Amino acid sequence: MLMPKKNRVAIYEYLFKEGVLVAKKDFSAPKHSEIDVPNLHVIKALTSLKSRGFVTEQFAWKHFYWYLTNEGIQYLRDFLHLPAEIVPATLKRQTRPETSRPRPKESYGEGGQRGPAQDRQEYRRAAGAPAGGDKKAEAGAGGGEFSFRGGAGREGGRGGGPGGRFGAPPPAVGAGQ
């Protein structure tokens, strides 16, 4: 697509500076949200870069997302006459300021466990059991009596025999035997 060179340079400079570019799929938008060029120019310029393998494209929710590849970085360096020391923002390490968040005091409880780890074990204790109680010891195959309730039975269930249909009275126990 024919477009002024200043628009193409503005798009390429922004793309190189940030490393990624987002554009809404609105071909008639007068301006791009970040760059002062028509949105159509941004979409077409980056479609051209995509066809040459300089960017990767993703599309979601009416938005194009373009990410520079290594070949694209080299191409834009040559096009914009930039030195090798300048890199896109996506390749720079972010320096996070060391924020001093208050951490909880590490208190050792029973068994030498620290406070927060001990708190996570609280749910395993039986209700009303002493602090050293263990729910694990009470669980298992021989831990309690199993009880089975009679479910739908052989005749019940979906499309079953008598007594399994909605609205029908249940069969009388001992009747007909």
CATH number at residue 17: 1.10.10.10
* pLDDT attached to residue 113: 57
* pLDDT attached to residue 91: 84
* Inside any domain, residue 115: no
* pLDDT attached to residue 159: 57
* Inside any domain, residue 150: no
Find the helix or strand (DSSP H, E) in which 115 lies: helix 115-120
Ranges of the chain with pLDDT below 50 = none
- Domain span at 60: 5-81
Q: How far apart are CA 41 and CA 21, in angstroms?
A: 13
* Inside any domain, residue 57: yes
* Inside any domain, residue 20: yes
* Inside any domain, residue 143: no
Q: How many domains does the chain have?
A: 1
* Inside any domain, residue 130: no
* pLDDT attached to residue 173: 74
- Helix axis angle for 5-18 and 70-80, nearest 10°, is 130
The CB-side HSE value for 64 (13 A sphere, CA atoms) comes to 22
* Inside any domain, residue 34: yes
- Whether the full predicted model's pTM is greater than 0.75, yes or no, is no
* Inside any domain, residue 14: yes
